[in-house]
Amino acid sequence: MGALHAGHLALLRAARRRERSVVATLFVNRTQFNDPADYAAYPRDEAADLAAFQACGVDLVFAPSVEEMYPQGFGTHIDPGPIGADLEGARRPGHFAGVATVVAKLFNLTRPTRAYLGQKDWQQTRVIDRMVQDLNLPVDLVIVPTVRDPDGLALSSRNVRLTPDQRQAATALWRGLELAVSAWEDDERSPAALADIVRRAVHAEPLAELGYAEVRHALTLEPLDTACPPLVIAVAAEVGGVGLIDNVVLAKGPADAAGS
């Protein structure tokens, strides 16, 4: 989606270390925005993105136009099913249908052997994994851990839209997740209790409006009666009108949970 930051660069470098050739796709996908104003406000800087791709050793950049991806009369969309209906799917109706459709198109057009995805968008990785399995797409997924600023805030292209006060408030998501992980390490095994720890941390920040804080099975995203790995603690909030998400995966690591 462009507006590259260190999190994106971590994906490129991970691919460069492993692969003989690396293709990057660059496309701000309008169909995954349920709010036209959010699409209009999404940061774009193609020249800087291309320079970053080059610096990371990308061999080829595929940057199609909107008209190429969605020509006149385009009408086919992928329904991601239950795994995309909850959490971000409920908060942003139609979002994952847009994600699944554009990713399927990009996979078909670039034909990767492996695709590198960031843990920060954990539900997105699960939607894409489900789609790959259900549609028998010949691509393996590699999950790369979330990259964070020193204060723990997960890197996001939307962070540039935050004022200094809002950016400080946004760290409430990570503070809540850290507290939940500490409780887990102290043998708290109630999903409701772990989620409530995150909710309280976000509610304590006046500039943050909680979207959700949930503990789910890491792979299926189904609710849990008892917290046992692999599980994901996921949180979403709006700060200054900017939607932010974060998560922690409790397993040996993101790749272990995802089976990559």
The rounded radius of gyration (Å) of the Cα atoms in the chain is 18
Report which DSSP code applies to 147.
P
DSSP states of 216-227 = EETTT--B-SS-
Q: Are 142 and 115 in contact (CB under 8 A)?
A: yes
Q: Are 113 and 139 in contact (CB under 8 A)?
A: yes
- Active site (annotated) includes residue 5: no
Q: Are 217 and 251 in contact (CB under 8 A)?
A: no
Of the candidates 8, 77, 95, 203, the residue annotated as catalytic is: 8
Report which DSSP code applies to 102.
H
CA 151 – CA 131 distance, rounded (Å): 35
CA 222 – CA 214 distance, rounded (Å): 10
Q: Are 234 and 247 in contact (CB under 8 A)?
A: yes
Chain center to CA of 129: 13
**Residues with active-site annotation:** 8
